[in-house]
Amino acid sequence: IKDGKLYARGSSDDKGPTMACYYALKIIKELELPVSKRVRFIVGTDEESGWGDMEYYFAHNGLKDPDFGFSPDAEFPIINGEKGNITAYLHFEGQNDGDFSLVSFIGGLRENMVPESASADFTGPITLKELEDKLADFVAEQEVTGQVTEEAGVFHVTIHGKSAHGMMPQNGINGATYLALFLSQFDFQGNAKTYLDIIAETLHKDFFAEKTGLAFTDPKMGELTMNAGVFNFSKESEDNTIALNFRYPQGVDTDAIKANLEKLEGPKAVSLSEHGHVPHYVPVDDPMVETLLSVYEKQTGLKGHEQIIGGGTFGRLLKRGVAYGAMFPGYVNTMHQANEFTEVEDLYRAAAIYAEAIYELIK
């Protein structure tokens, strides 16, 4: 804790809010408030991946599914709508010949994160000094930094951008697409050229999938977004990939996403992830939503309103499930980023809101 901020991985997403909910339940219990409903406090650990934990829980817990509930995995006043979520994979060959030869291209840690950095190994008729000069010119014109080294005739180039949550890729600086943009000035041929061109010419800054023909906006749920999240290319591999994470509103389906990507020139195939989620919405006049908004207004003095996001929370696993807090309006978003933090006072405020909200729902 420094200057009133709790620095830790998960402090804002989502270990800190989880503990705020735990203490909310502890408050209700220690005050011995009269309740009429069973409350389940469910903690999952696979929300950033395939959600296999919740599939297992609902299949084996031996109880009927909860009638309603919320996840503290977003913002106040409420998130009662979430876009659909699916990852598509573009597949490419690897072997490439020519004066310039791409040995490898690696970028991104997770599909739902903007790649903070990316690196490539390649050979070609250029000196280290010439490459350093070209890189210096490139980073001077862009929002990135980078460095290049050489070992045994192989150049290693790394570009650093800025990470962000994949639901809002426009908030990040994609190190991988900038790296492809830098490399596109060289005379790569064959599969390497195909791979780099589609990144630099089609995916670079295409946050709303306009170049892929998938741009779409729903009046209530907003626009479709696309995050180019993970890149894996090896000259020795026959199946190199680019992972594109889509957050899509109602009015779009995964079949349409796949069909449009298959029209792109370059990839040998397109596949979709096994796990995905369709758009989810709980009406603002649902009694649970009304109760949660009422408590938020009472505690903060601010007007409550519905919100729809591109992120995915466990709230969508219930037909009457929403996300509720724990971030307050105007917070600094450091989720999925270095030096993640949350205001300690905000955790106290959230715990108070959760305690009253849960009590109002179960009294």
Given a contact cutoff of 8 angstroms between Cβ atoms, the answer to whether 195 and 233 are in contact is yes
Q: Return d(Cα 301, Cα 317) in angstroms, integer.
A: 30
Given a contact cutoff of 8 angstroms between Cβ atoms, the answer to whether 173 and 86 are in contact is no
* pLDDT score of 51: 86
Vertex 198: Cα angle to 195 and 202 (nearest 5)? 165
Task: Please say if the pLDDT value at position 222 is more than 80.
Answer: yes
**Reduced to 3 states, what is the DSSP secondary structure of residue 188?**
strand
Percentage of the chain with pLDDT > 70? 100
Banded model confidence at residue 18, pLDDT cuts 50, 70, 90? very high
Q: Return d(Cα 46, Cα 275) in angstroms, integer.
A: 12
For the residues of 227-257, what is the DSSP string, one character each?
EEEEEEEETT-S-EEEEEEEEE-TT--HHHH
* pLDDT score of 58: 92
E strands within 5-92? Answer: 5-7, 69-71, 74-75, 81-82, 84-92
**Reduced to 3 states, what is the DSSP secondary structure of residue 107?**
strand
Task: Please say if the pLDDT value at position 31 is more than 90.
Answer: yes
* pLDDT score of 17: 97
Mean pLDDT of the chain: 95
Q: Return d(Cα 16, Cα 228) in angstroms, integer.
A: 28
Given a contact cutoff of 8 angstroms between Cβ atoms, the answer to whether 318 and 69 are in contact is yes
Banded model confidence at residue 276, pLDDT cuts 50, 70, 90? confident
Q: Return d(Cα 319, Cα 34) in angstroms, integer.
A: 27
